[in-house]
Structure 1
Amino acid sequence: MSIYKKILVAIDLTEEAPQVLNKAVEISKAHGAELMLVHVVEPVGYAYGGDIPMDLTELQDQLDKAAKEQLAGYGEKYNVGKDNQIVTVGRPESEIHRLSEEQDVDLVVVGSHGRKGFQLLLGSTANGVLHGTVCDVLAIRIQ
């Protein structure tokens, strides 16, 4: 019996995403686990603190659409079906916590830049995911 049945891979859609995905796919194959890809788009209003008196809906919609297209490309490359590709809007840590519980995930895989100093071991998102997820979390070191 496998330890992991469902693995959620949270990626940031940068050129570093394949480093995280390649390891997640290996783990998924080794355990015969279902793989889910997740990207969290932060609300545009967060960047401006809500201080801009304009409607940012169209910009947010464009970001969501672009993220879905990129995630679909990764889904195709890594054989992850559309039902297991999720783009959501919110704070990455909170959304990953929510999805991992809703989807009954056994393992969350995230990338980590391994910064020094304040973010000594994990990036802020990876650290936030670790300190609130009820399942195992694996941080993949980004080279």
Structure 2
Amino acid sequence: MTDRLLVPYDGSEPARAALEYALETFPDADVVALYVVPVPEGYWAAFQNPEDRIPAVDRARDNGRDILDDAAQLAADRGRDIDTEIATGKPDHEIVEFAEEGAYDTIVIGSHGRGGISRVLLGSVAENVVRRAPIPVVVVR
């Protein structure tokens, strides 16, 4: 039996499908929806002024709260309560780290998210989570 589920949630259709799957398939599990605010890294980050990043991250966190409010409403519409969390960083790394630190039993993730064109099987975040996670990962299409 799965007691604690982590569902990365960005408001995309695959993320919504993953949350719905988690709620329906694991009716007794505690579900946490996680929104990760991506931060620029590498080459492009070197050109941004650190003072410019803070308001952008704050706006992104506010957007994340709105997205997670939608996730909580989706769960409420199905008679369930979920917890929500926001992290900041590289999404695949943050998801795996959050799962490890929170003692989750399973990650339920959408096959791809908002960013870019969908790959044939998995988006890059989902693929990296599957490869790196120390716990079972369910990928929902």
Alignment pair present for 1:13 and 2:11: yes
Match of 1:33 in 2: 29
Cα root mean square deviation, aligned: 1.9
Question: Who is 1:106 aligned against?
Answer: 105
SS at 1:37 equivalent? strand
* 4+ runs deviating over 4 angstroms: none
Report the count of equivalent residues.
Answer: 130
**Identity of matched residues, %:** 26
Mapping of residues 1-143 of structure 1, within 5 Å? 2=1, 4-29=2-27, 32-43=28-39, 45-46=40-41, 48-53=44-49, 55-79=52-76, 80-81=81-82, 84-113=83-112, 115-116=119-120, 121-141=121-141
SS of 1:88 mapped into structure 2:
strand
* AA of the residue aligned to 2:8: A
**Native 8 Å contact 2:15 2:109 kept in 1:** no
Q: Distance in 2 between matches of 1:133 and 1:106?
A: 11
Secondary structure, counterpart of 1:78 in structure 2: helix
- Structure 1 residue 16, shift from structure 2 partner: 4.1
Distance 1:99 1:61 in 2: 20
AA matched with 2:85 = I
> How far, CA to CA, are the matches of 1:99 and 1:40 in structure 2?
10
Q: Which amino acid aligns with 1:132?
A: R
After superposition, give the CA deviation of every residue in 1:21-40 in whole Å (9 maximum; x if it has no partner): 111111221xx111110111
AA aligned opposite 1:65: D
Shift of 1:52: 2.6
- Partners in 2 of 1:115 and 1:74 — Cα distance? 24
- Give the TM-score of the pair, scaled to structure 2: 0.82
CA distance in 2, matches of 1:59, 1:10: 21
Shift of 1:77: 2.6
Structure 2 unaligned regions, length at least 5: 113-117
Q: Give the structure-1-normalised TM-score.
A: 0.81
Q: Which runs of 5+ in 1 are unaligned?
A: none
What is the distance in 2 between the residues matched to 1:123 and 1:16? 10
